[in-house]
Structure 1
Amino acid sequence: MSDIIEYKCPACGGKLEFDSSSQKMKCPFCESEFEVDSIKDHDNCLENIKEDDMNWDSDAGSQWQQGEADNMKVYKCKSCGGEIITDQTTSASKCPYCDNPVVMSGNFSGDLKPDYIIPFKFDKEAAKAALNKHIEGRKLLPKVFRDQNHIDEIKGVYVPVWLFDANAEAKMLFKGEKIRSWSDGKFNYVERNYYSIQREGNVEFEGVPVDGSTKMQDELMESIEPFDFKDAVDFKTAYLSGFLADRYDVSAEESIERANDRIKNTTEQIIAGTVQGYNTVSRENSSVRLNSAKAKYALYPVWILNTTWENQKYIFAMNGQTGKFVGNLPIDKGASARWFLGIAAAVTAVSFGISLLLGLA
């Protein structure tokens, strides 16, 4: 004897039963009715949507040629452990991430050679101007953020980035509901119709970035996106002259999970945006499969200012290609208290003046 297949109500999840009078599948809990074939089709769709398949060819970067990196050196920060690569003519007295002194640790060796680099388009003066504009008019800002010496310490850093290219093939199943309400003068009626909605589509991704540095906060790096890959050129050590380059400590393989999250979320949002005309829509299942998935290794230009206020680190960043500037600002508690006391005193004075006028009336 074959197993009896149980069908669940798409509306409430209850077990459906066949109703002989209507010749439909009926839910004894919410009394919803469904055509037998539509319920079978719905369950078949659920069964056919497989798990995500998001595998990558993560062979990014290349090997350095003999003598190619001879003019490069490495500085190491004893505070955060970060390693910074630069050419022999560029000094690096402080770590761009924690502002502590860095020491020469030897000649550069190992690691992968970047495939591409986006050269800086904005210079240090432009970065300083962007910082000044960012703090302009902020009365409660601590004095340390206005000091010229901190502005002068802004550093140009090439941040290591793994870039992921893929074609995302998505299959998604949604449950839609259309609601119709009317009244005949005596009773109010509500009709609810449920729909099984299938969507399939492909989304092309090129250069989805995941930074390869644990020192550079993912949120901060993503907040200065996008970088335009059309300006990327084949990597040459000459582009490092006068700048620092963070040494990656997150591999391409370790970055795949983050890349998958970004690609899956974006793909599902695009596909879900095609489901329209319903009062409510909920996602029941989805599957994302990647084709031609490959990773590249690149360096992206970022201006960084790091400073400390009351034992808390603050990092500001500017996209060295587009000029986009971001960073959270602290509040000087003393200045804040004085400002609020001044507001309170002004309100009290105004209130007293109103009371006096009322008393004379």
Structure 2
Amino acid sequence: MSNQMEYKCPACSGALAFDSASQKLKCPFCDSVYNLDQFEQQQPDPAQQAQAQQGEQPATGGMNWNVEPGSEWAAGETDDISVLSCNSCGGEIVCEDTTASATCPYCGNPVVLKGKLSGMLKPDCIIPFKLDKNQAKEALKRHVARKKLVPALFKDKNHIEEIKGVYVPFWLFDAQVAANISYKGERTRTWSDAKYKYIEHNYYRIYRAGYVAFDQVPVDGSKKMADDLMESIEPFDFSQAVDFKTAYLAGYMADKYDVDAETSIKTANARIRWSTEDAFQSTVQGFTGVTAEESYINLQNGVARYALYPVWLLNTRWNGKDYVFAMNGQTGKFVGDLPLDKKAYQRNFAILGGIFSIVASVLAFLADYIFF
């Protein structure tokens, strides 16, 4: 018995792709549409199938503490998934097995090496794409159109077609925080008389203690994805996250994480600590100056999850520099730098200079004519 999972159209046998508009599986050949859950039910669950073959029952329940987010792939679950590796930047892109070739969404170079998926955990959840490729292209066109002096390459229709939908790996951290922070506060009072100016300083010891709950603190799991770029297109609405199914990858790519959860804990703790200290200090008011002296922060009931977030990406290399455009595939928030075409700038400057020279000459002539 084969464990292979296939997402083929029952009507024409074409490869189905996840349609962001309808949130269903859609055939690009005959336009048939299938409900995701119903289609999943038609396929044998690899985990249940493997357990059934071993005479086991599916496990139920869970643990309150999860130090290892994600899970192992079941037997046969990755048969239709391959990994494309980029020789240039080292990026590894997870995609459908039918993808023959592609360009790297991070550096734009051709991706030629192909292998089977290994060494990657199965995501706990995923936020499916809500915006399709046409919407991403229109957003990019509007972004470029606002900049008049950009190189022609950035406006090229064929180049814009290369924009790719990529699921970016994230580690999400939940925690309850117990904090106890002491501050030194200062209040000043100023007055004067006929001879002197007086300043009175009063100092106070201030204490704050309490609890804060954090949900889905995100840490980017990809070294190739610039952190400031991802922070610029945040936030993502986690309320729309669903349990991961391989069908959501149909028609898209997924970045294979190269920063594990253990490494990401340091970043998550720093964000939680900073947010906690900022929230507590915001309650200390009515002072001319406040300084934190002692800070005790204890994280409890920490839970980590592995998630995939949707991002539209386009990488453009121009004059030896990479320009990356990113759009939140859920909300449509779009960011990206655009270079100045110096030749176009100089050409426009010369044209405007010529026009101003002609206008100045005409005005000078008219002034002389009127004077005489």
- Pick the TM interval, shorter chain: 0.7 to 0.9
Deviation of 1:157 (Å): 0.4
1:194-213 residue CA offsets vs partner (Å, 9 max, x unmatched): 11221122221111111111
CA distance in 1, matches of 2:106, 2:316: 9
Aligned to 2:84: 75
Amino-acid identity (%): 56
In the alignment, structure 1 residue 64 sits paired with structure 2 residue 93: no
Deviation of 1:220 (Å): 0.8
Relative distance call for 1:230 and 1:184 in structure 2 (3 A) is: same
Amino acid at match of 1:315: V
Contact 1:159/1:246, CA 8 A, preserved across alignment: yes
Deviation of 1:333 (Å): 1.7
Deviation of 1:182 (Å): 1.1
Aligned to 2:284: 275
Match of 1:127, SS state, is helix
Relative distance call for 1:58 and 1:339 in structure 2 (3 A) is: farther
Aligned to 1:194: 203
Relative distance call for 1:92 and 1:233 in structure 2 (3 A) is: farther
CA distance in 1, matches of 2:272, 2:180: 14
Deviation of 1:335 (Å): 2.3
From 339, 362, 371, the counterpart of 1:330: 339
CA distance in 2, matches of 1:164, 1:350: 65
Aligned to 1:8: none
Which shifted more, 220-229 or 169-178? 169-178
1:8-66 residue CA offsets vs partner (Å, 9 max, x unmatched): xxxxxxxxxxxxxxxxxxxxxxxxxxxxxxxxxxxxxxxxxxxxxxxx95310001111
Q: Which TM-score applies when normalising by structure 2?
A: 0.76
Amino acid at match of 2:325: F
Aligned to 2:296: 287
Amino acid at match of 1:303: W
1:94-138 residue CA offsets vs partner (Å, 9 max, x unmatched): 111111111242222332111001100000001001111112231
Mapping of residues 144-183 of structure 1, within 5 Å: 144-183=153-192
In structure 2, stretches of 5+ residues that fail to align are 1-64
Contact 2:86/2:113, CA 8 A, preserved across alignment: no
Amino acid at match of 2:74: Q
Which shifted more, 216-225 or 333-342? 333-342
Aligned to 2:144: 135
Aligned to 2:95: 86
Amino acid at match of 1:325: F
1:127-157 residue CA offsets vs partner (Å, 9 max, x unmatched): 0011111122311211111111111000000
Q: Which TM-score applies when normalising by structure 1?
A: 0.79
Contact 1:89/1:242, CA 8 A, preserved across alignment: no
Mapping of residues 42-53 of structure 1, within 5 Å: none
Relative distance call for 1:350 and 1:178 in structure 2 (3 A) is: farther
RMSD of aligned Cα (Å)? 2.4
Contact 2:151/2:341, CA 8 A, preserved across alignment: yes
CA distance in 1, matches of 2:224, 2:298: 31
Deviation of 1:345 (Å): 6.5
From 69, 86, 103, the counterpart of 2:112: 103
In structure 1, stretches of 5+ residues that fail to align are 1-55
Contact 1:90/1:242, CA 8 A, preserved across alignment: no
In the alignment, structure 1 residue 220 sits paired with structure 2 residue 229: yes
1:254-308 residue CA offsets vs partner (Å, 9 max, x unmatched): 1111111211111111111111111122222322211111110011110000011
From 299, 315, 339, the counterpart of 1:306: 315
Amino acid at match of 1:196: R
- How many residues align? The count is 306
Amino acid at match of 2:238: F
Aligned to 1:185: 194
CA distance in 2, matches of 1:244, 1:202: 40
CA distance in 2, matches of 1:127, 1:269: 36
CA distance in 2, matches of 1:282, 1:351: 62
CA distance in 2, matches of 1:192, 1:339: 61
From 242, 254, 258, the counterpart of 2:263: 254
Relative distance call for 1:292 and 1:199 in structure 2 (3 A) is: same
In the alignment, structure 1 residue 207 sits paired with structure 2 residue 207: no
Relative distance call for 1:182 and 1:333 in structure 2 (3 A) is: same
Deviation of 1:326 (Å): 0.7
CA distance in 2, matches of 1:57, 1:327: 36
Aligned to 1:297: 306
Match of 1:200, SS state, is strand
Relative distance call for 1:343 and 1:274 in structure 2 (3 A) is: farther
CA distance in 1, matches of 2:256, 2:314: 18
Aligned to 1:34: none
Contact 1:176/1:196, CA 8 A, preserved across alignment: yes
